[in-house]
Amino acid sequence: MSSPELMDKIVSLCKRRGFIFQSSEIYGGLNGAWDYGPLGAELKRNVKNAWWQSTVHFRDDVVGLDCSILMHPKTWEASGHVANFVDQLVECKKCNKRLRPDHLDNGRCPQCKNNTFSDPRAFNLMLKTFLGAMEDSSATVYLRPETAQGIFVNFPNVIDSTHRKLPLGIAQIGKSFRNEITPGNFTFRTREFEQMEIEYFCRPEDAAAKYEEWIQARFQWYKDLGIKPENLKLRPHADDELAHYAAGCTDVEYNFPFGWSELEGIANRGAYDLQQHEKFSGQDLQYKDPVTNEKFFPHVIEPSGGCDRGTLAFLVDAYHEETVNDATRVVMKFHPKLAPIKVAILPLAKKSEGIVTLAKKIKSELQKELVCVYDETAAIGKLYRRQDEIGTVFCVTVDFQSLEDHQVTVRHRDTMVQERIAIDHLREYLKKHLGF
Ligand code: ATP
């Protein structure tokens, strides 16, 4: 299957089965904006929960934070975004499409194939809005282009309120906004997206080792959640790609159908951000070691990932087509932790009151701990195919025999192997195989 064909199939499955819809579709859509449908909302939530669990709950050296999207405008002067958060923009002389020079198609406009453009000019990517009743520059605020700055400005609040010592990471998940010149590749580049970011504060002499540790930890996270290792790679930035204050940056890249692209960046940012905020706010943002009383600016390692890009990578990697009995079986092989639905309960005969009652009873018990669906709207073969296509890990079928022997058929998504399991042991069996 060619790469564009694979991408088309994934986009079409996402719409057909309710993973991702175009935003405001009935009005023709809005470029660079997407909505997560019922299954997509579950999947994305599972991605965020898996990240929070591994970076906050499973570690002793990271705490969470949830900052507001709107911040004092000086934040963005201090961070350098007002002056430097720009992309180069050129305009096609034939169709007037605005593009990033690095997004041209072999030097040509991807829309009309013309090859003459205006001179490049700088374009600030921050979205502006106004607070209060005045629509003038005194009321201008920005929609945050990254969640990181909320963490930096709260560094003293977190240290003072938690009495934590270095090294300490502060993690946050939240929406960010960038007025991207050329959004595209489905949810890969959008103007509104969610980030999962950690600022890991440490002693300057520990920064190099912590940087290496975080690169490995973040790379492993994607592998642990089932991404095929051959589709992942690390790309260290060349010196001329680095911000002037950064000592290093490495991207985790995924082999998308449209090419290897960034999922997450891990940067060794030095002390730049805290120093800038101290300069602009006049507040003391240094760390005071409680034992030695020594004062210094911590250095910061920043693993910064996109939740939507991660979710898209998990969708692409899960997509499989297999031939079964001369027919194509589409199966989304999500890691059990990420699968939107863990168990489907299917009655073999929807007209049998005994079967339906038992199936619904099983569902109401299981759904206390596992995300389940009940479906009786088609014949069993079709129901299995439907569940395969959305990545449901197990199908539990209740049949006439179940009424006699109190057993059900459990079908495994990836192997299609079927087993008879006693209803009394079903919950434990499913949890064990899901890894819960
Ligand atoms: P790119 O070079 O692709 O524009 P970036 O290097 O500017 O990305 P960062 O500023 O490092 O991105 O942001 C951290 C993460 O946030 C990225 O790795 C990505 O996963 C996510 N991200 C950034 N911009 C977007 C966007 N426009 N749409 C979706 N996710 C994004």
Q: Does 2 have pLDDT greater than 90?
A: no
- pLDDT in the model for residue 282: 97
- Nearest residue by C-alpha to atom 22 in ligand 1: 306
CB neighbour list of residue 263: distance below 8 Å, 6 or more residues apart:
222, 251, 252, 253, 254, 305, 306, 309, 310, 313
- pLDDT in the model for residue 1: 75
- Nearest residue by C-alpha to atom 4 in ligand 1: 189
Q: Mean pLDDT across the stretch 245-251?
A: 94
Tell me the average pLDDT of the chain: 96
Q: How far from 55 is each of 208, 209, 236, CA to CA, in Å?
A: 19, 18, 22
- Nearest residue by C-alpha to atom 8 in ligand 1: 262
- pLDDT in the model for residue 225: 98
- Nearest residue by C-alpha to atom 23 in ligand 1: 306
Tell me the H-state helices in 54-116: 74-78, 81-84
The tens digit of pLDDT for each residue in 293-335 reads: 999 999 999 999 999 999 999 999 999 999 999 999 999 999 9
Q: Which atom of ligand 1 lies at the shortest distance from residue 309's CA?
A: 20
- Nearest residue by C-alpha to atom 16 in ligand 1: 306
Beta carbon of 309 within 6 Å of any ligand 1 atom: yes
- Nearest residue by C-alpha to atom 6 in ligand 1: 265
Q: Mean pLDDT across the stretch 182-186?
A: 94
Confidence of residue 392 (pLDDT cuts 50, 70, 90): very high
Q: In the structure encoding, which two tokens stand for residue 25, read together?
A: 């579709």
Q: Does 368 have pLDDT greater than 90?
A: yes
- pLDDT in the model for residue 172: 98
- Nearest residue by C-alpha to atom 31 in ligand 1: 306
- pLDDT in the model for residue 132: 85
Strands 168-177 and 62-65: parallel
Question: What is the CA(306)–ligand 1 centre distance, in A?
Answer: 6
* pTM for this predicted structure: 0.95
Q: Which atom of ligand 1 lies at the shortest distance from residue 183's CA?
A: 27
- pLDDT in the model for residue 238: 94
Q: Which residue has the higher pLDDT, 208 or 436?
A: 208
Write out the H or E segment, with its range, that includes residue 175: strand 168-177
Beta carbon of 264 within 6 Å of any ligand 1 atom: yes
359: exposed, middle or buried (Cβ count in 10 Å: 0-12, 13-18, 19+): buried
The tens digit of pLDDT for each residue in 90-145 reads: 999 999 988 888 888 889 998 899 999 999 999 899 999 999 877 777 788 999 99
Confidence of residue 215 (pLDDT cuts 50, 70, 90): very high
- DSSP SS3 for 414: coil
- CA dist 250 and 61 (Å) reads 22
Q: How far from 181 is each of 27, 104, 121, 335, CA to CA, in Å?
A: 22, 12, 12, 34
The tens digit of pLDDT for each residue in 12-50 reads: 999 999 999 999 999 999 999 999 999 999 999 999 999
Beta carbon of 269 within 6 Å of any ligand 1 atom: no
Beta carbon of 199 within 6 Å of any ligand 1 atom: no
- pLDDT in the model for residue 56: 98
Q: Does 245 have pLDDT greater than 90?
A: no
- What percent of the chain stands above pLDDT 70? 100
Beta carbon of 304 within 6 Å of any ligand 1 atom: yes
The tens digit of pLDDT for each residue in 49-68 reads: 999 999 999 999 999 999 99
- Nearest residue by C-alpha to atom 19 in ligand 1: 306
Question: What is the CA(183)–ligand 1 centre distance, in A?
Answer: 11
Q: Mean pLDDT across the stretch 69-74?
A: 96
Beta carbon of 87 within 6 Å of any ligand 1 atom: no
Rg, the chain, Cα only: 25
Q: Mean pLDDT across the stretch 336-361?
A: 96
Question: What is the CA(100)–ligand 1 centre distance, in A?
Answer: 15
- pLDDT in the model for residue 133: 78
Beta carbon of 180 within 6 Å of any ligand 1 atom: yes
- DSSP SS3 for 112: coil
Substitution candidate for ligand 1 out of 36, 84, 195 with most atoms within 8 A of CB: 195
Confidence of residue 367 (pLDDT cuts 50, 70, 90): very high
